[in-house]
Structure 1
Amino acid sequence: MAISYAATAALIIFWSIPVAFVGVISNIEGLCQKESWLAWLCTLPPIVVGIIQGILPPVLLAVLMMLLPIVLRLLGRFEGIPTYTGLELSLMTRYFIFQVVHSFLIVTLSSGIMAALPSILSNPSSIAGLLAKYLPQASTFFLTYIILQGLSGVAGGFLNAVGLVLYYVKLSLLASTPRSVYNIKYAPSTIAWGTVFPGVTLLVVITFAYSIISPIINGLACFTFFLFYLLYKYLFLYRYTQPPSADTGGLFFPKALQHVFVGMYVQQICLCALFFLARNNNDKPSTPTCNNGKPSAIPEGALMVVLIVITAGVHMIMNDSFGPLAKALPLSQAHRTFRHPEPSLALEDVDTGSGSKRKETADPGDVSSPIDKKPRVSSSSESDIEHTPESDYDDAIFAHLPDGTEDYGFAHPAVSRPQRIVWIPDDSLGLGREEVQANKDAGVKATTQNARMDEGGKVDVTGPPVDLLKF
């Protein structure tokens, strides 16, 4: 893990090199006039120069941003994370750190320092007051960023132009079997939580950081999040699904809360610095290069220090109280939560070894806290299970799922699930029907139902697979 996160830190640091190269390309016209070894670029036709500095940089930047999650997922695999959900949780943390550093901290510091740099060079003693004056100017960029995400980001989510293009690309390149055609056309999409959450929580961090320095960002952020609410409500109702392989039991939410606390810390530290850097100019008139007054907001800065300590204390208490419960529930609550959420439904009608049936009804008043150190002692459930035959025990604990399917646990689908029916497209020559008959003679289930191939070899489906409900 240490090596993996060290590689992530190095990636965050050195990722600015290709991003800076993209920025250089966007100003190639001015660069070729200043640098002699690039003068040949000025001899290119204006259309070519316009394409190089107008179209190429956004495309390269988009490709870089698409490659970043892939690289971060590879680092998670290098760490040894075995599950898909574990990789997404790891990606969420790494991608959020990258977003905060590159999209927030670097932009904020570069905007404030570059604006104050001329005055600092002319009068170095006024650095404190100048930084307090110029650092909030970075809020203009983030006001634009919030509005851009709320308008273009939400519009792009509704339009889904990339998904539309990929749909036709997949149909032309990957639609070779009936199942692949059906999955491309009708299978609902899944959402990559590891990349969705960091983008949203970054907006929360930016809003918290500038909510006091530039209060107008609060209204813009409310408008943006309302648009995101409409977008994701539509997506989760009509486009996205949550397969069992992507279910984490809500573990993304605690991580998102940790990201919100990052925004609170950034806000309070920034305000604390601004208060301590503020200067009183009543002693002598201030000039653009001279601001040497006395500190004027020491009490406010001290109060911000107290607030930071209080916030850190609440954060620690919350993590100590709910952190263990996010990973596992205590054994005292296992019989209440595993397949029987309601206390009155705990292990009913379990056959004992003598053939009689016992029915346990939980006492409503005997409810223990999820964080009780001492497990609650049940009157009969434990003894009943110990003397229950194996088949009855399995029925009581590993019963059928609510949708009627079997709970196979961690068994491989190839050895535990029913055999899939071979789905072959029908054709005008009858080759598909002949292949189906050959499979049936060999004891393999096959069908041509709802699938057909035309004379050009293009496969199309008119309905779902016949074995869809079994899987």
Structure 2
Amino acid sequence: CEALLFTGTLFWSVVVTAITSISNLDKLGTVLPGWLIPEEGTFWYGLIQGYLPVVFLELLMLLVPVILRFVGRHFIRFKTQSEVDNFTFKWHFAYRIANLVIIILKNQIYETIDSIADSPSEALGTIASSIAVSSQFFLNNMIVASGTELTWELAQMPQMILHFVMHKFITVEAKSKRALEKLEEPARFEWGVDVPNFIFALLVAAVYSTIVPLVMGVCALFFYLATKIYTHQVLFVFSQQYESGGMLMYNLNRTVFVICYISITIFGILLSLKKAPIMAPSFFFGMMIITALVDRKIQKKFVRPSVTLALTNARIIDEEN
């Protein structure tokens, strides 16, 4: 099943390309009435054209964790909820990475392939150019995440809509006691749904920090607002139904360090493209060594001991600290 999901990421480009093509106002103008499409060159045309692909893609991505949870529960049949969350987290983030790569390379994929065969250095330049060209999409993506998605989370709109329908149209008396009790159950923090969004924002910030710093600024705003909103949700809204013993944090730690290595590599490549023969290798090897040492220290001091630490002892240590 995991092999099938991996294959799906390879063919995900077809879906993403179709979404971005459908969300083109020029193509929509051939289907929709003319009065619905703003005049080309106007403010509204540029605004809608910029955000429409982002909104369509994010709506599509809402289905990914739902499908992954279904696969984990009913096909792979994981025995614990933490295993389902871990599975959802891993593959949800994988499809997020696929989005990033596809959107960056989709406009210049053939040029990149030709450049790799003829001149690897030219291929790196083509990829760097593609990253810069795609910055507007990811800037809009993070603006939508900072505004619409976080507001949606804070408002708990699905629960509000469900309660509204229940009380206004179905009536409470028509539902069973079990259904009413389920309606009153508190929401929980969806690890496989929410955390990949945070890591994706970190990845976008790392990729564009040296190319388009404005994107990193919007990502910082996203994290600031997300910290406020999710702190509120955890304190007053969410109620976790299980303890994973910290198992999920191991993957999160590893993912963050992978992003650090990726950002160092990208910046090193950019320095080499800027013809900095001394600075590029100095930065690359220096930062790689420092990051690897920090990674090793965390693995040695925290990760390995915690794997064999009993949950009761871990809880006591957390309370003491």
Q: 1:69-123: CA deviations, max 9, x gaps?
A: 2332344344452111111012111111211221x22223346x47x88xx8xx9
Counterparts in 2 of 1:187-336, with a 5 A limit?
A: 187-243=185-241, 246-278=242-274, 296-306=275-285, 307-329=287-309
In structure 2, do the counterparts of structure 1 residues 5 and 187 end up closer, same or farther at CA, with 3 Å as the change threshold? closer
Q: Which amino acid aligns with 1:99?
A: R
CA contact (8 A) 1:190 1:240 kept: yes
Q: 1:268-300: CA deviations, max 9, x gaps?
A: 11111112222xxxxxxxxxxxxxxxxx21112
Q: Which amino acid aligns with 1:337?
A: N
Shift of residue 136, structure 1, vs aligned partner: 5.0
In structure 2, do the counterparts of structure 1 residues 201 and 61 end up closer, same or farther at CA, with 3 Å as the change threshold? closer
Q: Which amino acid aligns with 1:131?
A: T
Instruction: Say yes or no: does 1:131 pair with 2:126.
Output: yes
Q: Determine the structure 1 residue equivalent to 2:43.
A: none
In structure 2, do the counterparts of structure 1 residues 145 and 27 end up closer, same or farther at CA, with 3 Å as the change threshold? closer
CA contact (8 A) 2:146 2:221 kept: yes
Q: 2:153 aligns with which of 157, 163, 173?
A: 157
Q: Secondary structure at the match of 1:329?
A: coil
In structure 2, do the counterparts of structure 1 residues 173 and 193 end up closer, same or farther at CA, with 3 Å as the change threshold? farther
In structure 2, do the counterparts of structure 1 residues 170 and 259 end up closer, same or farther at CA, with 3 Å as the change threshold? farther
Shift of residue 132, structure 1, vs aligned partner: 7.5
Shift of residue 265, structure 1, vs aligned partner: 1.4
Counterparts in 2 of 1:3-402, with a 5 A limit?
A: 4-27=1-24, 30=27, 46=33, 61=57, 64-77=60-73, 78-79=75-76, 81-102=78-99, 104-110=100-106, 113=108, 127=122, 130-131=125-126, 134-135=129-130, 137=132, 138-169=134-165, 172=170, 176-184=175-183, 186-243=184-241, 246-278=242-274, 296-306=275-285, 307-329=287-309, 337=313, 341=316
CA contact (8 A) 1:132 1:277 kept: no
Q: Which amino acid aligns with 1:239?
A: V
In structure 2, do the counterparts of structure 1 residues 80 and 321 end up closer, same or farther at CA, with 3 Å as the change threshold? farther
Shift of residue 228, structure 1, vs aligned partner: 0.9
User: 1:139 and 1:58 mapped to 2: Cα distance?
Assistant: 12
User: 2:237 and 2:217 mapped to 1: Cα distance?
Assistant: 29
Q: Please, what TM-score do these two structures have when normalized by structure 1?
A: 0.53
Bigger Cα displacement from structure 2, 65-74 vs 202-211 = 65-74
Q: Secondary structure at the match of 1:240?
A: coil
Q: Secondary structure at the match of 1:67?
A: helix
Give the total of aligned pairs.
295
User: 1:239 and 1:92 mapped to 2: Cα distance?
Assistant: 21
In structure 2, do the counterparts of structure 1 residues 312 and 76 end up closer, same or farther at CA, with 3 Å as the change threshold? farther
Shift of residue 313, structure 1, vs aligned partner: 4.4
Q: Secondary structure at the match of 2:278?
A: helix
In structure 2, do the counterparts of structure 1 residues 324 and 48 end up closer, same or farther at CA, with 3 Å as the change threshold? farther
User: 1:195 and 1:11 mapped to 2: Cα distance?
Assistant: 18
Shift of residue 63, structure 1, vs aligned partner: 5.9
User: 1:126 and 1:86 mapped to 2: Cα distance?
Assistant: 42
User: 1:63 and 1:169 mapped to 2: Cα distance?
Assistant: 22
Q: 1:222-247: CA deviations, max 9, x gaps?
A: 3221211221122223321112xx32
User: 2:228 and 2:257 mapped to 1: Cα distance?
Assistant: 25
Q: Which amino acid aligns with 1:46?
A: P
Q: Secondary structure at the match of 2:210?
A: coil
Q: Secondary structure at the match of 2:19?
A: helix
More strand by share: 1
Q: Which amino acid aligns with 1:92?
A: F
In structure 2, do the counterparts of structure 1 residues 277 and 327 end up closer, same or farther at CA, with 3 Å as the change threshold? same
CA contact (8 A) 1:132 1:274 kept: no
Q: Determine the structure 2 residue equivalent to 1:407.
A: none
CA contact (8 A) 2:54 2:140 kept: no
CA contact (8 A) 1:272 1:304 kept: yes
Q: Which amino acid aligns with 2:278?
A: P
User: 2:78 and 2:59 mapped to 1: Cα distance?
Assistant: 26
User: 2:58 and 2:70 mapped to 1: Cα distance?
Assistant: 19
Report the aligned-residue RMSD. 3.9
Q: Which runs of 5+ in 2 are unaligned?
A: 38-47
Shift of residue 48, structure 1, vs aligned partner: 11
More helix by share: 2
CA contact (8 A) 2:82 2:244 kept: yes
Q: Which has the higher contact order (CA 8 A, sep 6+)?
A: 2
Among the aligned pairs, what percent are the same residue?
A: 23
Q: 1:414-442: CA deviations, max 9, x gaps?
A: xxxxxxxxxxxxxxxxxxxxxxxxxxxxx
User: 1:155 and 1:128 mapped to 2: Cα distance?
Assistant: 40
CA contact (8 A) 2:205 2:216 kept: yes
Shift of residue 6, structure 1, vs aligned partner: 1.6
User: 1:99 and 1:45 mapped to 2: Cα distance?
Assistant: 30
Larger of the two Rg values belongs to structure: 1
